[in-house]
């Protein structure tokens, strides 16, 4: 503790350098340039700049956290910001004076133009240094503001960025509502991909931040008022709430239109799989990397059972609704079949074996051996769309209801299981298998039930995928899907049911919406996972106990800070 009252130069400089390296990386892989085409706030801040500014903001924040007094905190974040800005200027100078494009394709004049705000080297650099330094200091300011206000501000900023990013989609949706579109036109920039207008951004930020603060202050009062209400009033309030949600869910496809509904559908299928894997990995602690296998089995099963095709040896032409339970049963059996050999495996061994299982299923689907039955690399085509009460579920807007029904069913089952005796034995098994067994938990049954339930959800997702696409190929079931689903529950929060939805929206929904940046998808994925593991290992919406454990030692100082 000799550094009690000393300025922590080392951290301030270190964080500035780290931020600088991140900035260079973002610039040189081409993200600044590509993302610059999209404005977050029209004419003011592009997506590319947002990334750089966020980097320095976060660095400033952490730089402040290593100092002992507020003056030190703000100076440290300023120094961090300054170092970042100098590194970025150096990059601009390098790119300007040397032709690096041979090796670094993205070290282009366009990059300099963006970095210098189109002002050229000497003048633009001054703005660059000033602005990024200010953002570094703002990070420090954010650190010293009380946590409630900080939360509100962060939420406000995030919503502005999110709305700016999704501006096109929001506009399209609003257009569907008629009058609302013109009434809200002032909020958005003119032209495509122009984000929010400056007024729009300010209004959104102020409204979100203020309402969050107001809610924070008044929530306990409102809650206690609701609690004081007579039971039947409370019940009707809850019914009203659920009613509203149901109404929105039912009306959503009309509101969103074709493209967005499709995005929601894809997200829904991932959420459905996520809910299943959450049981296996999150509840029961069994690291399964071959989860895509059940997705494939569900899809192929429905393909074989319902398709009428001359090319396949079996051509059953069953009704979808008849085939569905059979498919799910097959997946459950597959879950058990995978489960039995891995009963005695834990951790890494389990992960490797399940990984192999996933690949075996994919390669079997691809094999000549099964080609007469399931089509080999050509897959199965012309899978008929299901019919429900005379409506053909062949459009995103109608399939939406099938997917939502699946998700609600899986959600309901997950929730009931979590709070059940079985749910508790999963958790106990996750913590300590031997002791769980000594407490009377049948490990064999408990593990197999976890695999089977997970497989059922994934299989359901697979059957819907098959009828949605109408065509399935082995390559639709690559390892990457398992990894995506796993990342989704890690980002959302292991074992947390709402976390699956958050993770699904972030890792399946967002990439679908931001297709133009698809080439950076895995890069952003990786960065997100690394940052998550460092900063928020419990996920965005963690299960209660997990959060408690990971932040136990931070608990007391945090309380002091708010009081």
CA torsion, ordered 531, 535, 539, 540, to nearest 10 deg: -90
CA dihedral for 121, 126, 131, 133, sign (positive or negative): positive
Minimum CB distance to other proteins smaller for 225 or for 545:
545
Minimum CB distance to other proteins smaller for 39 or for 538:
538
Tell me: does residue 344 bind other proteins (CB under 8 A). Answer: no
CA distance 104 to 562: 47
Minimum CB distance to other proteins smaller for 214 or for 439:
439
Helices 47-65 and 147-165 meet at what angle, rounded to 10? Answer: 160
Residue list 436-455, contact with other proteins (CB under 8 A): 436-443
> What 3-state DSSP class applies to 433?
helix
> Among 431, 451, 423, which residue's Cα sits nearest to residue 276?
451
Tell me: does residue 424 bind other proteins (CB under 8 A). Answer: yes
Instruction: Give me the least distance between CB of 427 and other proteins, in Å please.
Output: 6
* Piece of 11-19, 295-303, 417-425, 485-493 that binds other proteins (CB under 8 A): 417-425
- Which of 425, 476, 487, 496 lies at the binding interface for other proteins (CB under 8 A)? 425
- Which of 12, 141, 428, 502 lies at the binding interface for other proteins (CB under 8 A)? 428
Helices 421-431 and 443-469 meet at what angle, rounded to 10? Answer: 110
Tell me: does residue 421 bind other proteins (CB under 8 A). Answer: yes
Q: What angle do CA 540, 544, 545 make, to 5 degrees?
A: 120
CA distance 274 to 268: 9
- The strand pair at 387-388 and 391-392 is best described as antiparallel
* Piece of 2-10, 57-65, 385-393, 426-434 that binds other proteins (CB under 8 A): 426-434
Minimum CB distance to other proteins smaller for 368 or for 554:
554
- Which of 90, 244, 435, 558 lies at the binding interface for other proteins (CB under 8 A)? 435
Residue pair 103/28 in contact by the 8 Å Cβ criterion? no
Residue pair 457/273 in contact by the 8 Å Cβ criterion? yes
User: What does the DSSP assignment read for 29-63?
Assistant: TTHHHHHTTSEEETTTEEHHHHHHHHHHHHHHHHH
Quick one: residue 196, left, alpha or beta (phi over 0 = left, psi -120 to 50 = alpha)?
beta
Query: How is residue 383 annotated by DSSP?
Result: P
Minimum CB distance to other proteins smaller for 151 or for 547:
547
Instruction: Give me the least distance between CB of 5 and other proteins, in Å please.
Output: 31
CA distance 548 to 79: 34
Minimum CB distance to other proteins smaller for 225 or for 344:
344
Instruction: Give me the least distance between CB of 504 and other proteins, in Å please.
Output: 24
- Which of 99, 216, 311, 431 lies at the binding interface for other proteins (CB under 8 A)? 431
Instruction: Give me the least distance between CB of 443 and other proteins, in Å please.
Output: 7
Q: Helix, strand, coil proportions of the chain in percent (round to 5)?
A: 75, 0, 20
- The strand pair at 45-46 and 39-41 is best described as antiparallel
Instruction: Give me the least distance between CB of 333 and other proteins, in Å please.
Output: 23
CA distance 188 to 52: 23
Minimum CB distance to other proteins smaller for 213 or for 550:
550
Tell me: does residue 434 bind other proteins (CB under 8 A). Answer: yes
CA distance 552 to 561: 15
Instruction: Give me the least distance between CB of 481 and other proteins, in Å please.
Output: 28
Tell me: does residue 182 bind other proteins (CB under 8 A). Answer: no
Instruction: Give me the least distance between CB of 420 and other proteins, in Å please.
Output: 12
Minimum CB distance to other proteins smaller for 105 or for 439:
439
Instruction: Give me the least distance between CB of 550 and other proteins, in Å please.
Output: 10
Tell me: does residue 557 bind other proteins (CB under 8 A). Answer: no
Instruction: Give me the least distance between CB of 448 and other proteins, in Å please.
Output: 14
Minimum CB distance to other proteins smaller for 462 or for 495:
495
Instruction: Give me the least distance between CB of 278 and other proteins, in Å please.
Output: 16
Minimum CB distance to other proteins smaller for 60 or for 495:
495
> Among 75, 44, 65, which residue's Cα sits nearest to residue 137?
75
Total residues belonging to the chain: 563
Tell me: does residue 281 bind other proteins (CB under 8 A). Answer: no
Instruction: Give me the least distance between CB of 465 and other proteins, in Å please.
Output: 34
* Piece of 66-74, 261-269, 313-321, 435-443 that binds other proteins (CB under 8 A): 435-443
Residue list 461-480, contact with other proteins (CB under 8 A): none
Kindly state the number of chain residues that form the binding site for other proteins, as judged by CB under 8 A: 23
Residue list 206-235, contact with other proteins (CB under 8 A): none
- The 10 Å CB-count burial string (b at 16+, else e) for 132-143 is bbbbbbbbbbbb
> What 3-state DSSP class applies to 146?
coil
Instruction: Give me the least distance between CB of 282 and other proteins, in Å please.
Output: 12
Instruction: Give me the least distance between CB of 425 and other proteins, in Å please.
Output: 7
Minimum CB distance to other proteins smaller for 101 or for 548:
548
Minimum CB distance to other proteins smaller for 110 or for 437:
437
- Which of 432, 518, 519, 558 lies at the binding interface for other proteins (CB under 8 A)? 432
Binding mask 367-406 for other proteins (x = CB under 8 A): ----------------------------------------
User: Residue 387: which H helix or E strand, with range?
Assistant: strand 387-388
> What 3-state DSSP class applies to 310?
coil
C-alpha distance from residue 50 to each of 131, 158, 223, 303 (Å): 12, 11, 37, 45
Residue list 526-555, contact with other proteins (CB under 8 A): 545-546, 548-549, 552
CA distance 187 to 104: 38
Minimum CB distance to other proteins smaller for 66 or for 427:
427
Site of interaction with other proteins (CB under 8 A): 421, 424-425, 427-428, 430-432, 434-443, 545-546, 548-549, 552
């Amino acid at each position: 503790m000799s550094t009690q009252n000393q300025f922590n130069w080392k951290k301030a400089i270190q964080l500035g350098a780290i931020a600088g390296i991140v900035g260079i990386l973002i610039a040189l892989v081409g993200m600044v340039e590509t993302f610059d085409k999209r404005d977050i706030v029209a004419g003011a801040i592009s997506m590319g700049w947002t990334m750089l500014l966020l980097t320095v903001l976060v660095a400033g924040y952490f730089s402040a956290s290593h100092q002992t007094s507020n003056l030190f905190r703000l100076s440290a974040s300023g120094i961090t910001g300054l170092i970042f800005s100098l590194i970025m200027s150096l990059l601009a100078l390098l790119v300007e004076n040397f032709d690096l494009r041979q090796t670094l394709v993205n070290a282009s004049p366009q990059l300099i133009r963006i970095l210098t705000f189109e002002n050229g080297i000497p003048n633009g650099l001054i703005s660059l240094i000033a602005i990024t330094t200010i953002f570094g200091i703002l990070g420090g300011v954010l650190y010293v503001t009380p946590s409630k206000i900080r939360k509100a501000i962060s939420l406000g900023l995030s919503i502005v960025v999110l709305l700016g990013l999704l501006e096109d989609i929001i506009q399209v949706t609003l257009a569907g509502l008629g009058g609302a579109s013109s009434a809200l036109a002032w909020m958005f920039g003119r032209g495509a991909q122009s984000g929010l207008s400056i007024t729009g951004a300010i209004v959104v930020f102020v409204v979100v931040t203020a309402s969050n603060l107001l809610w924070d202050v008044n929530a306990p009062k409102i809650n206690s008022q609701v609690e004081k209400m007579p039971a039947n009033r409370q019940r009707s309030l809850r019914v009203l709430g659920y009613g509203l949600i149901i109404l929105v869910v039912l009306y959503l496809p009309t509101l969103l239109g074709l493209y967005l509904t499709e995005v929601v559908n894809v997200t829904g299928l991932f959420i459905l799989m996520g809910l299943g894997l959450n049981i296996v990995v999150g509840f029961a602690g069994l690291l399964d990397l071959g989860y895509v296998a059940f997705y494939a089995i569900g899809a192929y099963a429905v393909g074989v059972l319902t398709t009428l095709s001359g090319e396949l040896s079996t051509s059953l032409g069953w009704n979808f609704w008849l085939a569905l339970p059979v498919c799910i049963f097959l997946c459950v059996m597959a879950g058990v079949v995978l489960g039995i050999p891995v009963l005695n495996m834990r951790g890494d061994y389990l992960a490797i074996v399940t990984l192999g299982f996933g690949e075996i299923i994919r390669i079997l689907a691809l094999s000549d051996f099964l080609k007469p039955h399931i089509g080999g690399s050509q897959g199965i085509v012309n899978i008929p769309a299901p019919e429900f009460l005379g409506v053909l579920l062949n459009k995103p807007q109608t399939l939406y209801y099938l997917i939502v029904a699946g998700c609600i069913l899986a959600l309901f089952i997950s929730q009931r299981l979590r709070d059940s005796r079985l749910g508790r034995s999963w958790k106990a098994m996750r913590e300590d298998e031997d002791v769980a067994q000594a407490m009377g938990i049948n490990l064999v049954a408990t593990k197999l039930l976890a695999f089977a339930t997970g497989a059922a959800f994934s299989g359901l997702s697979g059957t819907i995928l098959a009828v949605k696409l109408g065509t399935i190929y082995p390559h639709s079931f690559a390892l990457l899907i398992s990894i995506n689903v796993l990342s989704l529950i890690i980002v959302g929060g292991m074992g947390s049911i709402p976390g699956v939805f958050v993770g699904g929206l972030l890792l399946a929904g967002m990439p679908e919406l931001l297709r133009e940046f698809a080439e950076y998808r895995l890069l952003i994925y990786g960065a997100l996972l690394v940052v998550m593991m460092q900063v928020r290992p419990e996920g965005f919406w963690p299960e209660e106990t997990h959060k408690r454990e990971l932040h136990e030692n931070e608990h007391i100082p945090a309380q002091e800070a708010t009081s």
